[in-house]
């Protein structure tokens, strides 16, 4: 069959071939099940001590096994030749095809030899040898088949470390703690996983369509038949962007029609990465995503570490950890009434300096170091704190509300605030912040309320910010 059919070329095949081909996954399990049962029965016969109970396999099961093997192989052959998208092309698919053919032939021979053995009443050794051989080929081939559809590590992917050791695999790395979005590398943490999901199956070693591999950055630069796949610095000039943005009915559209497509936000992220330099060391923070990109990123990086921690708290419902409790209790003496937990079940803390006002300065605020990661609201209005205290808030990754009204803070404080992506409300009333500083707040995706009354911020800057943060209410008092 392979010699007659030549190289597979899905485009030339009629739909009928694809129709039969799609039954391969239905039929292939029959010979596997039947031959597994025959093997068990045969082993039983070999090792059973009582001759009277020996039940050797009859001809009928082997006959069924052979027929189903032939049907499965025929369907598989059609699947291979009818494949348009190129998902089943490559060394692995070829080996799987040969494995299937050899198995079917070996199964036929097993049947014939069994028939002889029965009619001549001869020694079953040769039959057994053939049976074990066939089942061996079948196992090997089935595993290849599984690897084609589910990836080559489909059995060992989730294997525990002791099993991995026995198999000579690298021990599983501890799941790295999810990095906060800002620290993630745009290529390695965000773009590469998108390409892995949607493109690499057809653009990898052993199966590189268009002679293009997309499994590493170097390979993207190297490109394929048409030259480099990406043009760092310009999404417009990058072949991958060109291909994915072609109309769906264009033959060159990627991924090919019928395959899972890139979603709009994924394309937006790839373009943003390429336009902002398209290299591998850039972090999200360094590339200053605008609000639209932040929205796209939020779809991909679902829960930041802050949210995850919150979820963990929800599960435990045990309330704050003891060390946090004792830290809050200790600080309570110095800051009477200033620190409190959001609720009994919550490890989240609010801090308000209302009762201290002018007495609170940077040195005092520094004592809150231990509880910073747990702070959700911080009110420092009318205190003596400066940019130095605000800089400390960089550690308050869960912060949702911050009041800095009538303090000495300047634009430098906004550099810190603009990285606290969980912020929903900021009060800068009566401070020295300016247009330049406030513009940076456009990077805060969750900001809903911003107080800029009596600041140096001009209506123009506010209009610009409004355009970047359409869901944010900006209170200017004008
Ligand atoms: C189902 C298989 C399949 C998937 C998935 C797939 N491609 Fe392709 N790709 C092909 C085939 C086949 C070719 C060669 C034919 C052609 O050039 O259109 C190709 C060619 C290309 C080329 C041209 C390479 C060159 O230099 O000739 C680019 C660029 C490309 N693909 C990008 C992508 C991107 C980006 C994705 C993921 C979003 C993707 N492909 C997903 C099958 C696939």
Residue 176 in any domain: the answer is no
| pLDDT band, very low/low/confident/very high, at 55 (cuts 50, 70, 90) | low
Q: Answer yes or no: is pLDDT of 312 > 50.
A: no
Are 144 and 189 within one domain? Answer: no
- With a 6 Å cutoff on the Cβ, whether 244 touches ligand 1 is yes
Phi-psi region of 252 (alpha: psi -120 to 50; beta: other; left: phi over 0): alpha
Q: Sorting pLDDT into bands at 50, 70 and 90, what band is 313?
A: very low
Mutate to test the pocket of ligand 1, among 197, 208, 210 (most ligand atoms within 8 A of CB): 210
**Cβ–ligand 1 contact at 423 (below 6 Å):** no
Q: What confidence tens digit (pLDDT) does each residue in 6-30 have?
A: 777 777 788 898 899 989 999 999 9
pLDDT (mean) for 449-466: 88
Coil, strand or helix: which one is 218?
helix
Helix, strand, coil in percent for the chain, rounding step 5: 55, 5, 40
Ligand 1 atom nearest to CA at 239:
29
Using most ligand atoms within 8 A of CB, pick from 202, 268, 273 the residue to mutate for ligand 1.
Answer: 202
pLDDT of 216 higher than 60: yes
Q: Is 384 in the pocket of ligand 1 (CB under 6 A)?
A: no
- Scored b (16 or more CB within 10 A) or e, 205-239 reads eebbbbebbbbebebbeebbeeebbbbbeebeebb
143 and 16, same structural domain?
Answer: yes
Closest CA to 146 of 214, 203, 93, 89: 93
pLDDT in tens, 176-194: 566 778 888 999 999 999 9
**Any domain includes 173:** no
**Residue with more model confidence, 404 or 181:** 404
Average pLDDT, the chain: 86
Confidence of residue 315 (pLDDT cuts 50, 70, 90): very low
411 φ, ψ to 5°?
-55, -30
Counting from 1 in the atom list of ligand 1, the atom nearest the Cα of 242 is 29
Q: Does 317 score more than 50 pLDDT?
A: no
Number of domains in the chain: 3
Question: Residue 54 has what pLDDT?
Answer: 59
Q: Tell me the CATH number at 330.
A: 3.80.10.10
Do 207 and 108 share a structural domain?
no
Give the DSSP H or E segment for 349: strand 349-352
Rounded Cα distance between 253 and 88, Å, is 19
Residue where a domain terminates, one of 285, 302, 319: 302
At 311 the pLDDT is: 45
Distance 81 CA to ligand 1 centre (A): 19
172 falls within a domain: no
For residues 99 and 157, state if they share a domain. Answer: yes
What's the pLDDT at 294? 85
93 vs 71: CA distance, rounded Å: 18
Beta carbons within 10 angstroms of residue 373's beta carbon: 17
pLDDT tens profile 411-455? 999 999 999 989 999 999 889 999 999 999 988 988 999 988 888
**Has residue 171 been placed in a domain?**
no
Mean pLDDT of all residues in 144-158: 80
Q: Which atom of ligand 1 is nearest to the CA of 85?
A: 1
Which ligand 1 atom sits closest to the C-alpha of 260? 5
371 occurs within a structural domain: yes
Residues 319 and 464 placed together within one structural domain of the fold? yes
What is the rounded radius of gyration, in angstroms, for the C-alpha atoms of the chain? 33
**Residues 98, 3: contact at Cβ < 8 Å?**
no
Q: Does any domain span residue 29? A: yes
| Judgement on whether residues 16 and 109 belong to the same structural domain of the protein | yes
CA 372 to centroid of ligand 1, rounded, Å: 48
Range from 50-54, 302-306, 327-331, 356-360 carrying the lowest mean pLDDT: 302-306
Say if residue 248 is in the same domain as residue 324. no
- Ligand 1 centroid, distance to 210 Cα (angstroms): 6
Give me ligand 1 centre to Cα 83, in Å.
15
CA distance to 151, 320, 323, 346, per residue, from 207 (Å): 13, 52, 54, 51
Which of 104, 138, 166 is the last residue before a domain boundary? Answer: 166
Within this chain, do residues 70 and 135 fall inside the same structural domain, yes or no? yes
List CB contacts of 319: < 8 A, sequence separation 6 or more: 325, 341, 344, 345, 346, 347
Q: Does the C-beta of 93 come closer than 6 Å to ligand 1?
A: no
Q: Which domain holds residue 147?
A: 2-166
Query: How far, in Å, is the centroid of ligand 1 from the Cα of 387?
Result: 51
Mean pLDDT computed over 391-406: 90
pLDDT at 273: 94
Nearest to 270 by CA among 236, 298, 302: 236
Q: Is 270 within 8 Å of 235 (Cβ atoms)?
A: yes
Q: Are 66 and 143 in a shared domain?
A: yes
Question: Which residue, 277, 302, 327, sits at the end of a domain?
Answer: 302
Domain match, 134 and 22 both:
yes
In-domain check, residue 146: yes
Q: Are 419 and 341 found together in one domain?
A: yes
Indicate if the pLDDT at residue 381 is higher than 70: yes
Ligand 1, pocket-test mutation among 255, 259, 270, most atoms within 8 A of CB:
255
Candidates 148, 209, 226: which one to mutate for ligand 1, based on the most atoms within 8 Å of Cβ? Answer: 209
Q: How confident is the model at residue 316 (pLDDT cuts 50, 70, 90)?
A: very low
Residue scoring higher pLDDT (114 or 258): 114
Indicate whether 174 belongs to any domain: no
Same domain, 208 and 64: no
Between CA 443 and CA 419 the distance in angstroms is 8
Helix, strand, or coil here: 132? helix
């Amino acid at each position: 069959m392979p010699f007659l059919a030549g190289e597979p070329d899905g485009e030339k095949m009629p739909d009928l071939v694809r129709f039969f081909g799609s039954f391969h996954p239905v039929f292939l399990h029959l010979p596997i099940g039947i031959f597994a049962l025959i093997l068990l029965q045969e082993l039983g016969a070999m090792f059973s001590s009582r001759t009277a109970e020996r039940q050797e396999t009859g001809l009928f099961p082997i006959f069924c096994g052979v027929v189903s093997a032939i049907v499965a192989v025929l369907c598989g052959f059609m699947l291979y030749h009818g494949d348009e998208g190129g998902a089943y092309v490559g060394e692995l698919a070829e080996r799987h095809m040969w494995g299937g053919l050899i198995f079917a032939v070996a199964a036929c021979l097993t049947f014939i030899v069994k028939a002889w053995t029965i009619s001549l009443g001869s020694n079953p050794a040769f039959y057994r040898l053939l049976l074990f051989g066939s089942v061996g080929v079948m196992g090997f081939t089935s595993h290849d088949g599984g690897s084609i559809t589910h990836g080559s590590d489909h059995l060992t992917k989730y294997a525990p470390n002791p099993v991995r050791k026995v198999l000579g695999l690298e021990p599983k790395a501890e799941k790295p703690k999810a990095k906060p979005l800002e620290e993630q590398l745009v290529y390695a943490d965000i773009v590469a996983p998108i390409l892995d999901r949607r493109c690499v199956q057809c653009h990898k070693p052993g199966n590189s369509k268009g002679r293009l591999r997309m499994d590493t950055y170097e390979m993207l630069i190297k490109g394929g038949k048409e030259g480099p796949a990406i043009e760092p610095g310009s999404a417009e000039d990058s072949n991958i962007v060109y291909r994915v943005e072609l109309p769906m009915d264009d033959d060159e559209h990627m991924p090919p029609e019928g395959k899972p497509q890139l979603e709009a936000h994924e394309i937006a992220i790839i373009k943003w990465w390429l336009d902002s330099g398209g290299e591998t060391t850039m972090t999200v923070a360094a590339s200053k995503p605008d609000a639209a990109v932040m929205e796209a990123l939020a779809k991909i990086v679902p829960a930041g570490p802050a949210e995850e921690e919150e979820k963990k708290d929800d599960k435990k419902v045990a309330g704050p950890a003891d060390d946090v409790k004792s830290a809050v209790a200790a600080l309570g003496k110095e800051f009477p009434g200033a620190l409190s937990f959001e609720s009994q079940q919550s490890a989240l803390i609010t801090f308000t300096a209302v009762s201290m006002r002018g007495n609170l300065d940077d040195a005092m605020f520094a004592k809150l170091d231990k509880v910073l990661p747990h702070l959700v609201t911080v009110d420092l209005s009318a205190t003596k704190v400066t940019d130095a205290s605000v800089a400390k808030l960089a550690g308050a990754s869960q912060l949702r509300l911050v009041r800095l009204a009538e303090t000495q803070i300047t634009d430098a404080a906004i550099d810190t605030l603009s990285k606290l992506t969980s912020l929903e409300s900021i009060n800068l009333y009566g401070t020295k912040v300016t247009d330049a500083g406030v513009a940076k707040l456009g990077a805060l995706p969750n900001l809903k309320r911003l107080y800029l009354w009596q600041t140096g911020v001009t209506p123009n800057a506010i209009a610009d910010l409004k355009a970047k943060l359409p869901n944010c209410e900006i209170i200017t008092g004008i």
